[in-house]
Structure 1
Amino acid sequence: MATMQDVAALAGVSAKTVSRVFNDDPHVLPDTRLRVEDAMRSLNYVPNVLARTFRAGRSSSVGVAVPDVVDPFFASIVRAVESVCSAAGLTTLVTSIGDDPARERSVLEALLRTQLMGLVLAPVASSHAWLAPWMETTPIEFVDRAPVDLDADHFVEDDRDGSYLATRHLLDHGHTRVAFLADQTHPPSSRRRLGGYTEALTDAGVALDERLIAFDAGSDEGAGRELDRLSRLASPPTAVFSSNARVTMHAFGALKSSGAAFVGFGDFPMADRLTPAVTVIDQDPAHLGRLAATRALERFATPDARYEPATVVPVGLTVRHSCGCP
């Protein structure tokens, strides 16, 4: 992990100057401040912020709020945030929001009242304007899903391109009846993935059939019902794109029984050991978590620094057997 001396060497200044920048000393020359801040970002430097937390009357904790801490994707984000915070001598407070958008505000307000140094949030609500006053004192970093009605840092993966890749892969295998399987309509990530699916159909000259879009596959029973409904269509799908790892896991048994080719968005434990091994759009949730946690600590240490608010991480296709490839 980079030290203050590493930052000083890269910026061509003394360690004391780095400390002055960290402590927001107004007497640091603007050019020097920019050089030090650039060096911090280049080295992914996370300063020891404990002294600052005591002066500000804050707890030495960073909050993490995700829909479901058991979900492999969100669990990876939580673990990554914990690793960054632990290296900085900080604790992590973790909570599950659930899937009910109406519950999000009460859960987050309870967490924010603990005087966090920062919050890493994977939201479920449709508007986050109410968080604006909290952001004046607490860095809030969004992961996986961008904020709505709020200007804030967000770290997301390229949902649209990933869905396009998955759908196009199935179309290129000769499937013209490709279903879209999801569990919720409200998250922005679901809408972006639906957009990538429809764009791939359009580019391939395949007409969109809305009967092939299913949004109730959030449980074993729901996935079974949706796939049964799809199988009863006069022209049933021969391939399925599953919009997240949770849906893929719930639908796997029914998909295997159906004989349809399928690709899932997001890898999950044992996906490569199943029969058939699952072809996936491979995400890196740990990378998102590290980026968000590092930014939260950076913003706490240097609140006036400038950062690019949006970071879109590319994704790729990991080909296994479920798509029909040998």
Structure 2
Amino acid sequence: MATMRDVAALAGVSAKTVSRVFNDDPHVRPETKERVDSALRELSYVPNTLATTFRSGRAPVIGVAVPDIADPFFGAIAKAIETLAAQHDMSVVITSLGDDGTREPRIVQSLLRQALSGLIIAPLSHDQSYLGSWTDRTPLVFVDRQPTGVLADSFTEDDHAGAHQATTHLVGHGHVRIGFVGDDASIPTTSGRLAGYRAALDEAGIEADDDLVALGAFDRASAAAACTALAGLADGPTALFSSNARATMSLVPLIRTGGLTVAGFGDFPMADMLTPAITVVDQDPAALGTLAAQRVLDRLAHPQRRYRRRTVLPVRLVERESCRSRAPRG
């Protein structure tokens, strides 16, 4: 197997120059780069990744920890990270945190002990202070949810504004009894969306009714139970705001038969093909993943540079049939 010294000898340059060419250093002269590239091809040179790891103390791997990789939203984030990582000859290792926040520290620290080049995480627990000892060693970037108890970069969506926009949209269709369906109000995304929902009602002069807030919708069964509880109210909702795509997907069978106007936070595959097609607050998980991966790469390349720690991405409402021509009952 050819070595970097073999390439350097054939090209008539130093091993350091070969390394600079291989890493796309823009300051290498074009004629030198051409000679080195020719030597690389002729010798079929493959970089010794293990040696690189030993020299830098890091594996050329970005870790990704999300609640559920099967969730289309987190799957899209992971795919975007993989795409950018591959462009920089890096690999990605992905783990699902599950739905038990107490397991997060053990899972994440086990991942970090693999000497990763960086970690991108969408946390579950309410406290990430356990990562404090890692911040000086490994670039940490949070997506979808901001960290608590540790200073780190984050890329999130405007949860409050998106929920406010969707709820205002439902009010604009004549609804005053609007239900909220979500998972856990202690999760930052859910709490932000619940606050946006309540703010929109307040601005419309509609008194918020806690009986219309149904939490615990984590899967189809619990979502169905949440909707059944709302439907059983003496003065039930005529419209629903679902606070995440997982809950909205779980509600699909009920949307088709229940006749409720529905808007959900987060698009998902086939949402526009359903009957009725679902009105959503559209996020951009690919942008979240790309930005997070780029921040890891930037911090590796320029560890002393100052960066904006918190970045909030805008969201937009996409109206579909689940909100059109559906007048309130009664």
TM-score w.r.t. length of structure 1? 0.84
Letter in 2 for 1:193: R
Alignment of 1:176-191 (within 5 A): 176-191=176-191
Root-mean-square deviation (Å)? 1.8
Question: What is the SS of the residue equivalent to 1:322?
Answer: helix
Q: Quick one: percent identity of the two aligned structures?
A: 45
Aligned to 2:158: 158
Aligned to 1:120: 120
Partners of 2:25 and 2:201 in 1: CA distance: 52
Aligned to 2:235: 235
Aligned to 2:324: 324
* Contact 1:80 1:290 survives alignment (8 Å): yes
Question: What is the SS of the residue equivalent to 1:109?
Answer: helix
Question: What is the SS of the residue equivalent to 2:323?
Answer: coil
CA shift for structure 1 position 137 = 0.3
Aligned to 2:41: none
CA shift for structure 1 position 221 = 1.3
CA shift for structure 1 position 229 = 1.1
Aligned to 1:103: 103
Q: Which structure 1 residue ranges, 4+ long, deviate > 4 Å from structure 2?
A: 50-54
For structure 1, which segment, 237-246 or 255-264, has the greater mean C-alpha deviation from structure 2 after superposition? Answer: 255-264
The one-character-per-residue Cα deviations of 1:197-239 (angstroms, maximum 9, x if unpaired) are 0000000000010000011221211111111111111111000
Flag the structure with more relative contact order, 1 or 2, with Cα contacts below 8 A and sequence separation at least 6. 1
Does residue 89 of the first structure (1) align with residue 83 of the second (2)?
no
Letter in 1 for 2:130: W
The one-character-per-residue Cα deviations of 1:40-76 (angstroms, maximum 9, x if unpaired) are xxxxxxxx9x797542221111100000000000000
Question: What is the SS of the residue equivalent to 1:93?
Answer: strand
Partners of 1:232 and 1:215 in 2: CA distance: 15
Partners of 1:4 and 1:165 in 2: CA distance: 46
Question: What is the SS of the residue equivalent to 1:300?
Answer: helix
Gaps of 5+ in 1: 6-13, 17-47
Question: What is the SS of the residue equivalent to 1:99?
Answer: coil
Does residue 262 of the first structure (1) align with residue 262 of the second (2)?
yes
TM-score w.r.t. length of structure 2? 0.83
Aligned to 2:147: 147
* Contact 1:145 1:188 survives alignment (8 Å): yes
Does residue 282 of the first structure (1) align with residue 282 of the second (2)?
yes
* Rg comparison, structure with higher value: 2
Gaps of 5+ in 2: 1-22, 30-46
Relative to structure 1, the CA distance from residue 276 to residue 134 in structure 2 (aligned partners, 3 Å threshold; closer, same or farther) is: same
Partners of 2:141 and 2:71 in 1: CA distance: 20
Aligned to 1:249: 249
